[in-house]
Amino acid sequence: MLEADRHENIEIMSYSEVVKVDGYIGNFRVQVNRKARFVNETLCTGCGSCTEVCPIYVPNYFDENLSARKCIDIAFAQAVPAISNIERNSCVECFACVDACDTDAIDFSQQDEIVELEVGTIIVATGWDLYQGKDYGYGTYDNVITQIQLERILAPNGPTFGHLKRPSDRARPKRVLFINCVGSRDLNTNEHCSVVCCNLSVKNSKLIMSEYPDSEIVVSYIDMRCGGKMYEEYYRRARNAGIIFIKGLIGKIEEDSKTKNLKVQLEPVGTDSVVEMEFDMVVLSSASLPSQGTNQIASVMNIEKTSDGFLKEVHARLDPINTKVPGVYLAGSCQGQKSIDLAVSQAKGAASTAGIPMKHEEYVMELIRAKPIDERCAKCYKCIEACPYSAISVNEEGLIVVDLISCRGCGICAATCPSKAIELAHYKDIQYMAYIDELLPLEE
């Protein structure tokens, strides 16, 4: 991120969100809401003096609320830009930060600002969110956590400095249960497989074993899907390290009110018995969901979504980068959850694809477009409802208008119109009749 921030052709607008997009490829007009930090970005040096004197603590969202941070602080270590921002909802306005700042960077009068940009192409990379249901006591039992929370616990810069400790008493858990496919591959929640969960459970269980070889780790799964280069071999090494993988379903989980340990009922596949086990901590490999930003940008940019909520590509296998909107491309988990290597590959592909029209400074398209016939139109407007590209609208006179840039010539409107009042250029009925007459001439 630091290298990108220093590049002369890259401008990073952090703590901002896109609120409106108009125009077309080569001529997009984008409105960005730059949220008020209440800290002047040009004056702040990220020295941390304001953080030291702030008396208010708030949950640290970067540590998945497993630790606390000051009300004024940098978002996380190595954040770019390294500028503090104030959580105004929690601030008591003691102004201790104002007195401590040597550069007079604190500005409580700041307000959100709308910035307008003109861009040629757009790459959407809005990531993913984690399923957080009430499954298996999550949110009720202290020691039932998600894989993302475990990631922060095992991180050297995390709340426990990389050492495994459970949230309830900060004691080291010796018996740990991983539950895969939580909230995914389920007709009642999310039907899709979240792709990364199996490998994530293998990786984190191996990390625990590497620091604490005497740990007792059990991974409960429906199917282990460790597909990819060297992933199956890594899974085999985890089993050889003593990690127990059990194919089965978890039934009931109860918490011991005194010890905060978790009593788990497990039904292994192929048996009619229910096994009861006790664990110090339970880790949920929860489903990957489209992020809140993905849903927002889909609405703002009129991008279609698939049935699982991720952004829809032109073709899931042959063209996973382009969208139905020319000049708008997808990268990473906004298009569907994927491993890091695939996300990097798609990001490079999106950058390359977006760079082609930018380098040539032109976009060539075949003008096979819908053309309305006003005198036939019954003004039922079924074509507007049917158009998947939102390319058809009504002008002030009530007549059908087709946006030549947005229209992709799919022909759905022509097939839908009951009055035959809209046709595709170069594919009109009179042309087809001429072809038929020529191919199948009538004998005199």
Task: Name residues of the chain where pLDDT drops below 70.
Answer: 444
Look at the block and give the residue holding tokens 């087709």.
402
- Please enumerate in sequence order all residues whose Cβ is within 8 A of that of 433, keeping only pairs 6 or more positions apart, or say none: none
Residue 311 CB neighbours (<10 A): 23
> Is residue 174 classed exposed, middle or buried when 0-12, 13-18 and 19+ CB atoms within 10 A define those classes?
middle
Residue 52 is assigned to a structural domain of this protein: yes
Amino acid identity for residue 324 in this structure? K
Based on the fold, state whether residues 229 and 213 are members of the same structural domain: yes
Structural domain ending residue among the three candidates 121, 137, 167? 121
Q: Please tell me the total number of residues recorded for the chain in this structure.
A: 444
pTM above 0.85, yes or no: yes
85 CB-contact burial (10 Å; exposed 0-12 / middle 13-18 / buried 19+): buried
* 248 plus 387 within the same structural domain: no
* pLDDT the model gives residue 60: 95
Q: What is the CATH number of the domain that holds 374?
A: 3.30.70.20
From CA 80, how far away is CA 251, in angstroms rounded? 44
Domain boundary at 241, 263, 289, which? 289
Are 373 and 414 in contact by the 8 Å Cβ rule? The answer is: no
195, 320: one domain: no
Q: Are residues 110 and 247 in the same domain?
A: no
Q: How many domains does the chain have?
A: 4
Final residue belonging to a domain, choices 64, 97, 121: 121
Predicted pLDDT at 444: 59
What is the H or E stretch that residue 281 is in? strand 281-286
**Burial label, 270 (beta-carbon count in 10 A; 0-12, 13-18, 19+):** exposed
Q: How far apart are CA 293 and CA 297, in angstroms?
A: 6
One domain, residues 137 and 228: yes
Does the residue 298 lie in any domain?
Answer: no
Domain with residue 208: its CATH number is: 3.50.50.60
**Helices 197-211 and 231-240, axial angle in degrees (round to 10):** 40
Are residues 172 and 39 part of one domain? no
- Specify whether the backbone of 267 is left (phi greater than 0), alpha (psi in -120 to 50) or beta: beta
Its domain, for residue 342, covers 306-360
Tokens standing for residue 109: 């009068």
